[in-house]
């Protein structure tokens, strides 16, 4: 039966979910050394966070995440392959105010050149 007050309902659900997560994490041990202290859960699925998978709901297969302790979670990782960037992506965007200043300097240089040419003709 739901609570009459929606805020009280949300608070109850938060406490319930937190208790469920803590119970799940306390049952895990490190995949490397089987320690139960300082446990962290890491996703093996690229681009998917552990919170999104919700392994504590037991719907996520164990192959999709790994459990490591603090000592082993800092092990070196494989370097990520980066795709080469195109030249268009490498160009930095210039702030509008700076672009206006650059345009003003270009106009000033052109004006000075035309003035020098007119002085040279006279």
* Residue indicated by tokens 């109850």: 12
The answer to whether 69 and 107 are in contact (CB under 8 A) is no
List C-alpha distances in Å: 20 to 23, 40, 65.
5, 16, 18
Q: Is 40 a member of any domain?
A: yes
What is the residue range of 32's domain? 6-74
Place of tokens 């195109």: 86
Residue 55: count other Cβ atoms within 10 Å of its Cβ.
20
Q: Taking all residues of the chain, what is their mean pLDDT, rounded to a whole number?
A: 82
Task: Please check whether residue 12 lies inside any domain of the structure.
Answer: yes
In a domain, 120, yes or no: no
Distance of CA 64 to the CA centre of its chain: 20
Q: What is the pLDDT of residues 25-64, one digit of tens each?
A: 888 888 888 888 888 888 888 888 877 778 777 777 878 8
Residue 54 placed within a domain: yes
pLDDT at res. 91: 61
Q: Is 30 exposed, middle or buried (0-12, 13-18, 19+ CB in 10 A)?
A: buried
Among residues 37, 96, 102, 47, which one has the least CA distance to residue 71?
37
Position 78 scores a pLDDT of 67
In a domain, 66, yes or no: yes
Q: How many distinct structural domains can be found in the chain?
A: 1
Residue 112 in any domain: the answer is no
In a domain, 45, yes or no: yes
Contacts of 7 (CB under 8 A, 6+ apart): none
Q: Is residue 94 part of a domain?
A: no
């Amino acid at each position: 039966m739901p609570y009459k007050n929606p805020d009280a309902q949300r608070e109850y659900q938060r406490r319930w979910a937190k208790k469920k997560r803590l119970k799940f994490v306390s049952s895990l041990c490190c995949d490397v050394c089987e320690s139960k202290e300082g446990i962290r859960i890491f996703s093996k699925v690229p681009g998917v966070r552990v919170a999104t998978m919700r392994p504590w709901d037991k719907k996520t297969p164990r192959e999709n995440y790994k459990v490591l302790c603090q000592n082993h979670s800092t092990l070196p990782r494989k370097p990520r392959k980066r795709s080469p960037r195109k030249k268009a992506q490498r160009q930095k965007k210039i702030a509008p105010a700076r672009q206006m200043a650059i345009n003003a300097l270009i106009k000033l240089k052109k004006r000075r050149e035309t003035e020098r040419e007119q002085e040279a003709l006279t």
